[in-house]
Amino acid sequence: MVNALDARLSMYHFYTAFAALLIGGFFGLLQTLVRSEQLTLPVDLNYYQVLTAHGVLLALVFTTFFIFGFMYAGVVKTTGEFASHRRKAAWIGFVLMLIGTIMATTLILMNKATVLYTFYAPLQASPFFYIGLAFIIIGTYFAAYAIISQYRSWRKEHKGEKSPLFTFMAVATLVLWLIATIGVVTAVTLQYIPWSFGWTETINVALSRTLFWFFGHPLVYFWLLPAYMAWYVTVPKIIGGKIFSDSLARLAFLLFILFSIPVGFHHQLLEPGISEVWKYVQVVLTFAVIIPSLMTAFAMFASFEIAGREKGATGLLGWFKKLPWSDVRFLAPFIGMAFFIPAGAGGIINASHQMNQVVHNTIWVTGHFHITIGATVILTFFGISYWLIPHLKGRVLTKHINNLGKYQIVLWTVGMFIMSAAMHFSGLSGNPRRTQITSYNGHEAAASWGSYEVAMSVGGTLLLFSIFLFIGLMINLAFWAPKGSEEFPIGEEFEDTHQLPKLLENWKVWIAIAILLILIAYTIPVIDLIQDAPPGSPGYQFW
């Protein structure tokens, strides 16, 4: 059992995350209905406001709150309860993030920040929108402090022992986050806020985009790594197996830090002002992420096989049948893993110059991130919620809720499959993303898109039902399910290695390599963007 104070801390993060999921998901369905021309929005709510809210609430708010709720619970579970000053820091972080979220959402709904969640200049939102975003990020710094300082004092008290895998991974995720946010914090504080207050007249657009994507790509790894934490640490226990290799798991996380930051240009491949050579350098680094990804895939299947064989499976693939398919705690993350196979392939396509030429800014890309974050990550988060919420609330996941949970997961899977397949296919013929209506006055090139848009709305409907069911089940697990103690599954190692290679926990070395790669990939192009900049842009409010 987690102690009550720390449990409450995590639960408040989950309440906020699930509220964001509900509202954001509702907006998502509206988008599919508008795009397929089945619904017209009331005049004082425009499509792009809805889309901004959807992106902010799901990609920024839902993910961040869920991730911290999960990391706190796991860190407390593996290193002991928070010292009170750390718990206090975590609460300050929570309050700051909440204030930031409320500010940003209010401004979006007031139509003062219809700039989408990427807030590309020179579209200019109210300064308080950017300040709201800054609050969210500053809040995460308090949260990061709580976890990292907990880890450091654990290590001091346990000299010579290796740190708990879960906490190590949480720290790695935060190291990635702290480095990544340098980009967006620089852009928001030095560019957007002064410019939107009118203290500076113009903004360097190309620089702001580069700083954004310095953050934007590692942001997706900030979502993905907590899902991997669940895969590496909790799934082996749920299936009755073992963690395949503790050291390789750590190495994979460290490699993700190295290869997920100096790669932002793969989002700017079609942009002027950045030379092709630097784009290619970053594409090379982007592809390097294949290595830790393959290591992760290997580790997963190895631990599945170990589990199956321990249960007496024989033959080459006999272990597959021994997996606990009817346990929602396993089913959800497993389907998430399966989604990552096409999702990873799609990622390689997007990062390759010539293929990206076909899909850039089409709804293919939206399909891509709905199967990465919207399926792989979120299905894993669903799976976590089914045991973590009752664990924190001193209740149990009953068989009945487990069964309903399987329906919820299947609904999500089918909905996401339909919606994202339609997005991928119509994107291939050019259907643009971020566009309210795509009929273009009946132009023949757009003729095929309408039926895909309808398919997206069918998928979207299933998804929203799945969210309703999920929220209902979570309320049940938090307040009504029978009292008891639900396990926080923490896997054991297959071959116990007490001694870790020292290098793996030598953060200075890894951070230094990360910074070196960043300097190699970014120094020259950023200097060019600053020194050789064209006259800047004034702000525009085209809404």
Partner 1 sequence: MHIHKLEKVWIAIGFVTLVAFLTTVGIQAFASDGHHGAPSDLTKLDPEKVHETEPFDDPGLHKIGENEYELVMILESYGFTPHEVRIPEGSTVHFQITTIDVVHGFEIAGTTVNMMATPGHVNSMTYTFEEKGNYLILCNEFCGTGHHFMSAELEVY
> Is 533 an interacting residue with respect to partner 1 (CB under 8 A)?
yes
Cα 223 to chain centroid, rounded? 2
Do 337 and 304 contact (CB within 8 A), yes or no?
no
424 among known catalytic residues? no
13 among known catalytic residues? no
Q: What is the spatial distance between Cα 318 and Cα 423, in angstroms, rounded to a whole number?
A: 36
Q: Which helix (H) or strand (E) element contains residue 211?
A: helix 205-229
Task: Please tell me which residue in 119, 221, 222, 256 is annotated as part of the active site.
Answer: 221
We find the least distance from the C-beta atom of residue 538 to partner 1, in angstroms, to be: 8
Q: How many residues does the chain have?
A: 543
537 binds, among Cu ion, ligand HEM, partner 1, none (CB under 5 to 8 A by kind): partner 1
Q: Scanning residues 283 to 342, which ones bind Cu ion (CB under 5 A)?
A: none
Q: Which of 42, 159, 276, 480 is close enough to bind partner 1 by CB under 8 A?
A: 276
Toward partner 1, which CB reaches closer, 406 or 434? 434
276 binds, among ligand HEM, Cu ion, partner 1, none (CB under 5 to 8 A by kind): partner 1
- Classify residue 533 by its DSSP letter: P
Q: Is 44 exposed, middle or buried (0-12, 13-18, 19+ CB in 10 A)?
A: exposed
- Give the range of 27-35, 256-264, 278-286, 468-476 binding ligand HEM by CB under 6 A: 27-35
Q: What is the spatial distance between Cα 25 and Cα 6, in angstroms, rounded to a whole number?
A: 29
Toward Cu ion, which CB reaches closer, 217 or 395? 217
> Is 422 an interacting residue with respect to partner 1 (CB under 8 A)?
no
Q: Scanning residues 445 to 474, which ones bind ligand HEM (CB under 6 A)?
A: 456, 460, 463-464, 467
> Is 436 an interacting residue with respect to partner 1 (CB under 8 A)?
yes
366 binds, among ligand HEM, partner 1, Cu ion, none (CB under 5 to 8 A by kind): ligand HEM
Comparing CA positions, the residue from 300, 312, 477, 471 lying closest to residue 388 is 477
> Is 290 an interacting residue with respect to partner 1 (CB under 8 A)?
yes
Site string for ligand HEM, 62-101 (x = CB under 6 A): xx--------------------------------------
* Backbone φ, ψ for residue 199 (5° rounding): -75, -30
250 among known catalytic residues? no
CB atoms within 10 A of CB 78: 20
> Is 58 an interacting residue with respect to ligand HEM (CB under 6 A)?
yes
Q: Which helix (H) or strand (E) element contains residue 54?
A: helix 47-54
Name beta bridge partners: 540. 123
Q: Scanning residues 406 to 435, which ones bind ligand HEM (CB under 6 A)?
A: 433-435
Toward ligand HEM, which CB reaches closer, 80 or 216? 216
Q: What is the spatial distance between Cα 73 and Cα 64, in angstroms, rounded to a whole number?
A: 14
Site string for partner 1, 230-269 (x = CB under 8 A): ---------------x-xx--x----------------xx
Q: What is the spatial distance between Cα 130 and Cα 108, in angstroms, rounded to a whole number?
A: 11
Task: Please tell me which residue in 141, 434, 465, 468 is annotated as part of the active site.
Answer: 434
221 among known catalytic residues? yes
Question: Per the structure block, which two tokens stand in for 100?
Answer: 């930031």
Cα distances from 263 to residues 289, 372, 515, in angstroms, run 10, 18, 13
Q: Which of 10, 16, 31, 356 is close enough to bind ligand HEM by CB under 6 A?
A: 31
Q: What is the spatial distance between Cα 152 and Cα 159, in angstroms, rounded to a whole number?
A: 11
> Is 501 an interacting residue with respect to partner 1 (CB under 8 A)?
yes
Q: What is the spatial distance between Cα 155 and Cα 81, in angstroms, rounded to a whole number?
A: 15
> Is 217 an interacting residue with respect to Cu ion (CB under 5 A)?
yes
Q: What is the spatial distance between Cα 336 and Cα 332, in angstroms, rounded to a whole number?
A: 6
Q: Inter-axis angle of helices 276-287 and 328-351, to 10 degrees?
A: 150
> Is 347 an interacting residue with respect to ligand HEM (CB under 6 A)?
no
Q: Which of 17, 23, 25, 372 is close enough to bind ligand HEM by CB under 6 A?
A: 25
324 binds, among ligand HEM, partner 1, Cu ion, none (CB under 5 to 8 A by kind): none
* Backbone φ, ψ for residue 111 (5° rounding): 65, 35
Q: What is the spatial distance between Cα 464 and Cα 2, in angstroms, rounded to a whole number?
A: 32
Q: What is the spatial distance between Cα 62 and Cα 89, in angstroms, rounded to a whole number?
A: 20
Region of 160 on the Ramachandran plot (φ > 0 left; ψ -120 to 50 alpha; else beta): left
Cα distances from 40 to residues 32, 37, 102, 443, in angstroms, run 11, 7, 26, 21
456 binds, among ligand HEM, Cu ion, partner 1, none (CB under 5 to 8 A by kind): ligand HEM
Q: Scanning residues 53 to 112, which ones bind Cu ion (CB under 5 A)?
A: none
Q: Scanning residues 191 to 230, which ones bind partner 1 (CB under 8 A)?
A: 205-206, 209
370 among known catalytic residues? yes
Binding residues with partner 1: total (CB under 8 A): 76
We find the least distance from the C-beta atom of residue 348 to partner 1, in angstroms, to be: 7
- Give the range of 293-301, 374-382, 398-406, 474-482 binding partner 1 by CB under 8 A: 293-301
* Backbone φ, ψ for residue 357 (5° rounding): -55, -35
> Is 356 an interacting residue with respect to partner 1 (CB under 8 A)?
yes
CA angle at residue 373 from 370 to 375, to 5 degrees? 65
Residues forming the site for ligand HEM (CB under 6 A): 25, 28-29, 31-32, 35, 51, 54-55, 58-59, 62-63, 116-117, 366, 369-370, 373-374, 378, 433-435, 456, 460, 463-464, 467
Catalytic (active-site) positions: 217, 221, 368-370, 433-434
